[in-house]
């Protein structure tokens, strides 16, 4: 990675942010569209603050632009639904802050030594982290826009049927990519039994059959936790369920509970995380939409691989390890290809469905 490669990556992420926010009014940027999401202007300034924190302060040794931002834009300090009431920057100062930080970063980058032995700088890791952080937030902002009815996905259609058998045997789970996150490392061999996985994602038409057959009232196909969620939420179809949507488009906005219930209903199950990754790495040519269509729920909880070391900070992934969060793989139609890699691990609570989430079924071989 040369400094000019890093500039290209930074600028590409920024273009995505600008393209998303440019058409919006100040009111759309500042309002609390949903308690599940931050006001968009918070995400915007938070992107700048993360970049300031890691590149200007941590790497560049600069002083804080405004010490109060550390608390205002700390994702752990305030729930998303409370952020509109904080004294956060309004759109114009937020844009100016983000722009000023970027200008200072572009001045700093040519002077950085990327092979001075600091693991943070090795291969430009910390810049890669800032780029991916921005790209991940653009997707969070796109979810907010979807909740406001302002985001439409491009037409994606499933065109294959049937299953692929993935033979038993070892494969390498995880990544050695220098920009991979700590949770993708260390790469290690895992031995799996034979399994079968669907060549296509579950479509709206597939899912409609489940809805029409009374799947949401069929206690037998839901887990105890899933049934409790369904009743409390009075869920009887996916979020934003649109019967005019393309029948052969992958279903999206389903929770883990719904994905699991659907898979049980067709006599299958969700793939485990290692199964999903093995399929993506060894049989990708036979599988449609492994990357970049909808996030695909797996049956696995989020945890560290054997030998995991938090790097460069525990709040990125380690703070979320445990049974509470389920892993999603593959990226959505909105996810930038830099993030939607076969080893990338996304995680969320099993009842969340404002995300662009769908599923692919698997079963034992």
Chain centre to alpha carbon of residue 93: 28
Given strand 322-329, what is the order of strands in its sheet? 346-348, 322-329, 295-302, 357-358
**Nearest CB to Fe ion, comparing residues 109 and 129:** 129
Question: Which is closer to Fe ion, CB of 45 or CB of 279?
Answer: 45
What mask, x for binding Fe ion by CB under 5 A, covers residues 64 to 83? -----------x--------
The footprint of Fe ion on this chain (CB under 5 A) covers a number of residues equal to: 1
**Whether the Cβ atoms of residue 136 and residue 128 lie closer than 8 Å to each other:** no
Nearer to Fe ion, 50 or 276 (CB): 50
| Cβ 222 to Fe ion shortest distance, Å | 33
Q: Which is nearer to Fe ion, 233 or 315 (CB)?
A: 315
Smallest distance from the beta carbon of 78 to Fe ion, in angstroms? Answer: 13
Least gap, CB of 46 to Fe ion (angstroms): 6
Residue at shortest CB range from Fe ion: 75
Compute CA distances 147 → 140, 144, 156, 220, 354, whole Å: 11, 5, 20, 31, 7
Q: What's the rounded Cα separation, in Å, for the pair 134 and 138? A: 6
CB 205 within 8 A of CB 248: yes
SS3 297: strand
CB of 179 to Fe ion, least distance (A): 17
Question: And the tokens for 315?
Answer: 């709040």
Q: Which is nearer to Fe ion, 40 or 158 (CB)?
A: 40
User: Min. distance of Cβ 332 from Fe ion in angstroms?
Assistant: 17
Which residues within the stretch 89-128 sit at the binding site for Fe ion (CB under 5 A)?
Answer: none
Minimum CB–partner distance for residue 1 and Fe ion (Å): 22
Residues paired with 197 in a beta bridge: 164, 362
Count Cα neighbours of 184 within 13 Å in the Cβ-side half-sphere: 18
Residue number with CB closer to Fe ion (45 or 270)? 45
The binding site for Fe ion (CB under 5 A) comprises: 75
């Amino acid at each position: 990675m040369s400094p000019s490669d890093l500039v290209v990556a930074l600028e590409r992420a920024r273009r995505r942010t600008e393209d998303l926010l440019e058409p919006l009014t100040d009111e759309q940027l500042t309002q609390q569209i949903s308690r599940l999401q931050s006001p968009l202007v918070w995400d915007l300034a938070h992107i700048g603050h993360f970049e300031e924190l890691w590149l200007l302060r941590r790497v560049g040794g600069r002083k804080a632009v405004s010490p109060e931002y550390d608390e205002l834009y700390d994702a752990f300090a305030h729930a998303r639904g409370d952020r509109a009431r904080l004294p956060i920057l309004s759109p114009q100062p937020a844009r100016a802050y983000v722009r000023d930080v970027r200008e200072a970063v572009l001045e700093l980058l040519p002077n950085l030594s990327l092979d001075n032995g600091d693991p943070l700088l090795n291969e430009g890791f910390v810049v890669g982290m800032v780029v991916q952080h921005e790209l991940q937030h653009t997707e969070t902002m796109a979810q907010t826009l979807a909740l406001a009815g302002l985001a439409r996905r491009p037409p994606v259609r499933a065109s294959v049927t049937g299953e692929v058998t993935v033979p038993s045997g070892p494969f390498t789970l995880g990544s050695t990519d220098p920009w991979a996150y700590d949770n993708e490392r260390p790469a290690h061999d895992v031995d799996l039994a034979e399994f079968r996985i669907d060549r296509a994602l579950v479509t709206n038409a597939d899912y409609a059959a489940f809805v029409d057959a009374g799947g949401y009232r069929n206690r037998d196909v839901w887990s105890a936790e899933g049934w409790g969620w369904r009743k409390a939420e009075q869920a009887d179809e996916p979020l934003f369920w649109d019967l005019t949507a393309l029948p052969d488009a992958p279903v999206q906005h389903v929770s883990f509970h719904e994905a699991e219930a659907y898979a049980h209903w067709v006599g299958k199950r969700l793939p485990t995380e290692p199964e999903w990754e093995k399929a993506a790495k060894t049989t990708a040519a036979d599988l449609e939409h492994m990357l970049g269509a909808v996030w695909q729920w797996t049956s696995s909880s989020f945890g560290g691989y054997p030998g995991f070391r938090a790097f460069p900070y525990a709040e990125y992934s380690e703070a979320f390890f445990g049974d509470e969060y389920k892993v999603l793989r593959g990226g959505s139609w909105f996810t930038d290809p830099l993030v939607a890699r076969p080893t990338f691990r996304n995680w969320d609570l099993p009842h969340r469905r404002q995300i662009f989430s769908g599923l692919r079924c698997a079963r034992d071989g």
